[in-house]
A and B are shown apart, each in its own frame.
Chain A
Amino acid sequence: MAELTYRDAVVRGIAQEMARDPDVVFLGEDVAKAGGVFKATVGLLEQFGPLRVRDTPISEQAILGAAMGAAMTGLKPIAEIMFSDFFAVCFDYIANEIPKGRYMSNGQTKCPLVVRTGNGGGARFGAQHSQSVENWCMMIPGLKVVAPSTPRDVIGLLAASVRDPDPVIFLEHKSLYAVKGEVPDGEILDTLGTASIVRPGKDATILALALMVPRAFAAAEKLKSEFGIDCEVIDVRSLVPLDTQAILNSVARTHRLFTVEENPRLCGWGAEIVSIVADEAFYELDGPPVRITTPHIPLPAADILEDLALPSVDRIVDRVRRSMEN
């Protein structure tokens, strides 16, 4: 057991898979010599050499297209798109190419690749380097969508993503890179499509993802100590596949549902989950499901403005408390 930052967990996860399988290659902008703008890929070039760890031009279409072509012909590429906002620059490969190859060819072509990206706000980078785009990915048939919140999950879910025979969008949260957590020694391999209960509770279920998980957890602690409301906090971890059963089971225990989403409100991932719960567990609910989200706005840059936009611990506490009082 060792304490590791989320950032170092990314390095360890990639290295674990590259050491295990010579077909795993890694490419992206400034990922090799510079070690990544978030220092999350330091040392990989030295360990695995310039053929397998490649710096690319600032050419997002070429990065994802090349990763796809390499995946179709035998490799298992990990491609980095530095900021998830840049998915918009290469959206054809994300929406039309990578997820559809297997389907259109009736399984002849395979696309075992991982697109790693820095997602989410909190770094004061402004509207084009701060978005949470997990909902952009979730809406595309043929993609798996994963977003870890802890160093241990970074390694285990990254390993599972690399070994998955289908394309996985792996959303690392920029504001979590410095966060530390306990990580077991040796190989770590997790399972996609499994949510995790990070705090059991009996009064309400709070679903969260990535940076919103520690915030939901802190809010739950406060709700318990200050208001006596005992919340179950679930780290969804993977939007596709989605651990629907874990969510429905929790709602069946607590009878209340809250989602804490960083993506802008319209068509956020929580809307989809609320719809599933409404379909399958409507009569388990004792009150309307509540979505706590970023408003439907681009993110402002100034610190106090960005803090105002993103769901905060206080906002979660307030929203849950008011809702539970009714």
Chain B
Amino acid sequence: MKTDARNFAATKEVLVPLLRQMLLVRRVEERLSADFHAGKLPGGVHLYIGQEAVAVGVCAHLRDSDTITSTHRGHGHFIAKGGSPRAMMAEIWGKRSGICRGMGGSMHVADVSKGILGANGIVAAGLAITCGAAYAVTLDRSDRVAVAFFGDGAANQGTLMETLNVATLWNLPMIFVCENNRFSEFSPTSTVTAGDIVDRARAFKIPCASVDGNDVLAVHGAAGAAIERARKGGGPSFIEAHTYRLHGHLEAEKSFLKSAYRESAEVEEWRGRDPIALFKTYLRGEGILDEREVDALEREIAAIVEDAAQFAEAGEPADPNLVFEVMFHEQRA
């Protein structure tokens, strides 16, 4: 780990929850992967495995009243922001007990009570929505912030420039978090993206940071500074977090892709930089957690995930009445 925890006076009370949340995101998604390949899940799932340090490092600073928007790869943000694994997994299973009662599915998990305005199936769409949530803060004069998670692929949509411009002009409490996971779907980012993404934001003269997205403390540090600045009226910030998508664009891809779009050696190399393994090593090295404590944490998380998966699988099917009931306000009895 390049970042020293002492940079932000980290204590065990700050550090252990970071590992705990990363483990929770990872184990939930590993279970979703297994359930998908067992043919149990409807639709497709886009997994966040390998990128956990980004969502967790940012969301550690957020309160329920702060809002986030997310992407088609949104399970990690949902959990990191405090969403319920049970309610999310049931949603992905298409069950009545899902957080959106099965109306949204994997790409649209939302929990407004936790400030999760929603994952979004349209690349970059959450950016402008976050801009509006941040604008609303300027009217209630609170110290809330709004965070947009988006990928390197979204950086190639015009919405990013529109939103950077408005957020900067209006000095909005908005944090842009670009997760550069090195792939736009199946295209290596270098083949579809010119220059460095963070330089696009630098043109707006706002605070920008380029961080190792597999180093949760690096993300945590940059996000902490950006969020604190926004809370104090200092306007928007941009963080580009360099990470790696260990799984495919979506779990189903092997069934339709004719050939591999990346070398397995590359994937293995990045497995060696797994953000969770790196952080565990760091915590042990600093004497913050010992092996026994890590194992206990793993067991606790495994129990939560098993419970959530069983809850999802055992849930009632979605309610057919909802199909016609929820489009407009007055339709809801």
Contact = CB atoms under 8 A, between A and B. Distances in A.
Interface of A: 25, 51-52, 54, 56-57, 59, 61-62, 64-75, 77, 92-93, 96-97, 101-110, 141-142, 144, 164-166
B162 A61 contact: yes
A160 B223 CA distance: 42
A97 B146 CA distance: 18
Nearest to A105: B110
B327 A103 contact: yes
Interface in B307-333: 322, 326-330, 332
B243 to A, nearest CB: 25
Contacts of B110: 104-105, 108-109
28 contacts: A57-B165, A61-B128, A61-B159, A62-B163, A65-B132, A65-B163, A66-B129, A66-B132, A68-B128, A69-B67, A69-B129, A73-B132, A73-B133, A73-B136, A96-B121, A102-B326, A104-B104, A104-B118, A105-B110, A106-B100, A106-B103, A107-B332, A108-B110, A109-B112, A142-B327, A144-B328, A164-B329, A165-B330
Nearest to B323: A103
Interface string B152-166: 000000110011011
Contacts of B139: 25, 51-52, 75
B326 A65 contact: no
Interface of B: 67, 69, 100-101, 103-105, 108, 110-113, 117-118, 120-122, 125, 127-140, 146, 158-159, 162-163, 165-166, 169-170, 322, 326-330, 332
A70 B100 contact: no
A199 B225 CA distance: 66
Contacts, number: 139
A70 B136 contact: yes
Contact of A165 (B118, B158, B166, B329): B329
Nearest to A57: B165
Given A62-B128, A65-B163, A66-B129, 14 more contacts: A57-B162, A62-B163, A62-B165, A65-B127, A69-B67, A69-B129, A69-B133, A69-B136, A71-B132, A72-B132, A104-B100, A104-B104, A105-B112, A166-B328
Nearest to A101: B118
Contacts of A56: 166
B127 to A, nearest CB: 7
Which one of B104, B132, B159 has the greatest number of beta carbons of chain A within 10 Å? Answer: B132
Across chains A and B, which 9 residue pairs bring their CB atoms closest together, nearest first?
A65-B128, A69-B132, A66-B132, A59-B162, A165-B329, A62-B162, A69-B129, A70-B132, A69-B133
B142 to A, nearest CB: 11
Contacts of A166: 328-329
B104 A66 contact: no
Given A56-B166, A104-B110, A97 B129 contact: yes
B133 to A, nearest CB: 4
A21 B136 CA distance: 15
Nearest to A89: B158
Which one of B112, B130, B138 has the greatest number of beta carbons of chain A within 10 Å? Answer: B112
Interface of B is mostly: helix
B162 to A, nearest CB: 4
Contacts of A144: 328
A62 B103 CA distance: 26
A77 B122 CA distance: 22
Contacts of A108: 100, 110-113
Contacts of B326: 102-103, 106-107
Contacts of A141: 327
Contacts of A75: 135-136, 139
A97 B169 contact: no
A109 B117 contact: yes
B169 A102 contact: no
Which one of A54, A103, A108, A166 has the greatest number of beta carbons of chain B within 10 Å? Answer: A108
Contacts of B111: 108
Nearest to A97: B125
Contacts of A110: 329
Contact of B329 (A65, A70, A101, A102): A102
A24 to B, nearest CB: 11
Given A52-B139, A69-B146, A166-B328, A105 B118 contact: yes
Contact of A104 (B108, B128, B136, B163): B108
B322 A67 contact: no
Nearest to B65: A73
A107 to B, nearest CB: 5
A70 B67 CA distance: 11
Contacts of B327: 102-103, 141-142
Nearest to B140: A74
A108 B332 CA distance: 12
Which one of B105, B108, B136, B159 has the greatest number of beta carbons of chain A within 10 Å? Answer: B136
Contacts of B128: 61-62, 64-66, 68-69, 93
A102 B163 CA distance: 23
Contacts of B69: 69
A62 B131 contact: yes
